[in-house]
Amino acid sequence: MRYALSMRSREDIARFVAQRCVFAFDFDGTLSPIVTDPGQAGLPRSTMLLLRRVATIGPCVAVSGRSRDDLARRLAGAGIRLFIGNHGAESETPSPPVLLAVQRWKRILENSLPVMPGLWIEDKSLSLTVHFRMCRRKEEARLAISRAAELMPDARMIEGKQCVSIVSPGAADKGQALCSAMKRLRVKRALYVGDDVTDEDVFKRAGEGQDLFTVRVGRKTGSAASYFLRRQSEIDELLRAIIDC
């Protein structure tokens, strides 16, 4: 992985965006700083203004684990063309079987997870997220979630940053959703920035023939991303680099 803001990488960015491309971003931990309470997450004003300028260069897409409505509300006015929620699953009308499965998984979690301060379930219709960031007994919470997962063999478990998401294994992931968005926008290349496990579903597509410029927030051994930012606060500088090109 190369540092995305080095002089050499800035030249790589300039060459990549010389042709029309989609600019796609995860939200939490990428455009927005990670916060203790997910409900308090928001887009800094500086990032909002820079995103608006990037949106005049090429279509912008937001891809998040949040629901699409929640994502659209938090990014209102940023110039985002398409919103993709629920880790890629919510880019089209959800199918009833998925909705029913998620509600069944929710009942299992409610009946099997212990009552523990800071441990709570977020229902996003097409997926669930069990949060334990505010839980003092984090290891105990993580173990309880793992035990509950054994009761849901038909669900896909995705461990994030002090949370675990539960999604349908048949639902589109972020990589599939971004490729569909590119086809819809009639653009053959994309610059994508993300920070979590589900973003690897996009990063690995660069090695599968897709024309992608992939940036991970936080360097991580084994990541399929080609470039990295050292910290989330550098997202504004990356947006400026795109604009400067």
- Here the CATH number for the domain that contains residue 55 is 3.40.50.1000
Which of 191 and 162 is assigned the larger pLDDT? 191
Q: Give pLDDT, residue 94.
A: 54
Domain boundary among 167, 182, 201: 167
What's the pLDDT tens digit per position in 204-239? 998 777 899 999 999 999 999 999 999 999 999 999
Q: Which two tokens stand for residue 9?
A: 């990488």
The pLDDT of 15-34, averaged and rounded, is: 95
Residues 71 and 105 in one domain: no
Residues 36 and 73 in one domain: yes
The pLDDT of 3-24, averaged and rounded, is: 96
Nearest to 58 by CA among 28, 27, 25: 25
CATH code assigned at 156: 3.30.70.1020
Residues 148 and 102 in one domain: yes
Domain boundary among 116, 147, 167: 167
Residues 69 and 177 in one domain: yes
Q: Which two tokens stand for residue 89?
A: 């699953």
Average predicted confidence (pLDDT) for the chain: 91
Which of 148 and 169 is assigned the larger pLDDT? 148
Residues 11 and 38 in one domain: yes
Which of 165 and 191 is assigned the larger pLDDT? 191
Q: Which two tokens stand for residue 35?
A: 């916060």
Domain range spanning residue 20?
2-91+172-244
Residues 11 and 36 in one domain: yes
How many whole angstroms separate alpha carbon 212 and alpha carbon 117? 42
Residues 156 and 185 in one domain: no
Residues 179 and 66 in one domain: yes
The pLDDT of 17-37, averaged and rounded, is: 93
The pLDDT of 169-189, averaged and rounded, is: 91
What's the pLDDT tens digit per position in 58-103? 999 999 989 899 999 999 999 999 999 988 888 755 556 778 888 9
CA 180 to each of CA 78, 85, 108, 176: distance values in angstroms, whole numbers, following the listed order: 22, 13, 33, 6
Taking only Cα atoms into account, the Rg of the chain, rounded to an integer number of angstroms, comes to 18
Q: Is the Cβ–Cβ distance between 166 and 129 less than 8 Å?
A: yes
Q: How many domains does the chain have?
A: 2
The pLDDT of 145-170, averaged and rounded, is: 88
What's the pLDDT tens digit per position in 183-202? 999 999 999 999 988 899 99
Spell out a b/e string for 175-198, using b for 16 or more CB atoms within 10 Å of the CB, else e: bbbbbbbbeebebebbbbbbbbbb
**Percent over 70 (pLDDT), the chain:** 98
Residue ranges of alpha helices (H) inside the chain are 7-16, 45-54, 68-74, 96-112, 138-149, 174-185, 200-203, 235-244
